[in-house]
Copies of this chain bind each other. A is one copy, B any other.
Amino acid sequence: MTQQPQRPPFADWLSKTNDITRTFLAASRVPGLINMAGGLPEPTTFPVAELAAIAAEVVHQHKQDVLGYGPVEGLPELRDALAKRFSSPELTLTRANVFVTSAGMQGLDLLGKVLLEPGQLIACQFPTYLGALDAWRPRSPTYRNIVLEDPAFDAVAALAGAQFAYTVPNFSNPSGRLVDVETRQALVDAAHRTGTWLVEDDPYGTLHYDGPPLPRMIDLSARARPGTPYAGPVVYMGTLSKEIAPGLRVGWVIAAPGFIEALAMAKLGADLCTSGLTQRVALAAIEAGLIEKIQPTILDIYRKRRDALCVAMREHLSEWLDWEVPVGGMFVWAVGRDPSLDTDALLPHAMAAGVCVAPSSVFDATGRNRRALRINFTRNDESQLTEGVRRLARAFEAMGVSRA
């Protein structure tokens, strides 16, 4: 047999990626390891019996919707239900404002396809969701990091010239931060003034533990034209992954109708349509009130876990790390007290000690931010979280990080 000839090269972006997400997923299969790196929900909250009954019922009752091809924009009845759910006294939504995605990640992928040419600019809340960086890497964008809590933050300067601004105002991944109302309003005003699309990614919006939710930016934006279907610059994204179950892979984008039409062109070439089975299950679950039914249990579990994590961190990690207790979401973001802390270098020590956390480098398009850690508190119970923190302290000791 002759020598195998060289294959054509893979696209450039593949050489610029990292596989840390796969490391996280693989970590969940290492025996005995406490995985606090991912963003996984607690599986005992999944409404299994209800979803099993719904699944059988929708196949029987809606066989063409479930088993045939569906409209690229999503099942009309699900779009209507989402329009109703997210309409408010300020925000008027019709079916034309709503687009169904194969969960939140697909919304980010399609966003990149419709708005990015190579080298174009994204104004990105910093630190930035790893999955968003993954989704846009094949489009080769450039980034302007925007730090919303910086006292000198200037929203107009931040947004000007960008194809879009990307924000996670509710309990941001990775920082856990809740963006205050004044900053939301400033972003909306800047989007209206500059014209730039303002993406409000909201997978964690229902996971608030210490108070009522703040107004959405799309609602604030809608105040400019009350009573008319939304046509402004905010692109609001959500998912059932944290509200019901990630395995359904159903999410949504709510935006101006012209933006929805562009997304539809991109989805035609991405997966043609989201599964009719999962869409019909999602619709029946929403109509049956499953989100509201399981939400109190989810909030109760996650609040207790957050508290247990933060108690253990105060006891074992406060010499090395600073953090704010997050008021919602799934993560604590902990920053090295020593500016020279390198959490990429800490990770192997953590793995050796039997715990996995997410180093800050993966939440930075440049990979340079090495000073912080993202610690998840939704997937492990209180005793596992406490033990995980003890192991992390041992990793700091093993690495010889100086105590503050």
- A residues contacting B by CB (< 8 A) are 1, 4-8, 10-12, 14, 17, 19, 21-22, 25, 40-41, 43, 46, 48-49, 51-53, 55-57, 59-60, 63-72, 102-103, 105-106, 108-109, 113-118, 131, 134-138, 162-164, 192-197, 224-225, 233, 245-249, 262, 264-266, 268-278, 281
Contacts and interface: CB of A to CB of B under 8 A. Distances in A.
Q: Most B CB atoms within 10 A — which of A66, A164, A262?
A: A66
A272 to B, nearest CB: 4
Given A103-B271, A249-B274, A52 B60 contact: yes
B69 A115 contact: no
Contacts of A192: 4-5
B116 A11 contact: yes
26 contacts: A5-B194, A7-B197, A8-B162, A8-B164, A11-B117, A12-B117, A14-B262, A21-B268, A22-B72, A22-B268, A25-B69, A41-B68, A43-B67, A46-B68, A65-B247, A68-B245, A103-B272, A106-B271, A118-B118, A131-B268, A136-B269, A247-B275, A248-B275, A248-B277, A275-B277, A277-B281
Contact of A63 (B14, B48, B195, B246): B48
Q: Most B CB atoms within 10 A — which of A56, A65, A136, A249?
A: A249
A138 B10 CA distance: 16
Contact of A64 (B43, B134, B264): B43
Q: Most B CB atoms within 10 A — which of A72, A131, A277, A278?
A: A277
A274 B103 CA distance: 10
Contacts of A249: 102, 271-275
Contacts of A12: 117
A395 B37 CA distance: 63
Nearest to A26: B71
B277 A7 contact: no
A105 B269 contact: yes
A400 to B, nearest CB: 34
A53 B56 contact: yes
Q: Most B CB atoms within 10 A — which of A48, A195, A233, A271?
A: A271
Closest 10 CB pairs of A and B: A5-B195, A134-B269, A247-B276, A52-B59, A56-B56, A67-B245, A55-B55, A67-B247, A135-B269, A249-B275
A22 to B, nearest CB: 7
A196 B53 CA distance: 49
Contact of A109 (B118, B137, B269): B269
Contact of A264 (B22, B43, B268, B277): B22
Contacts of A48: 59-60, 63, 67
A134 B271 CA distance: 11
B63 A43 contact: yes
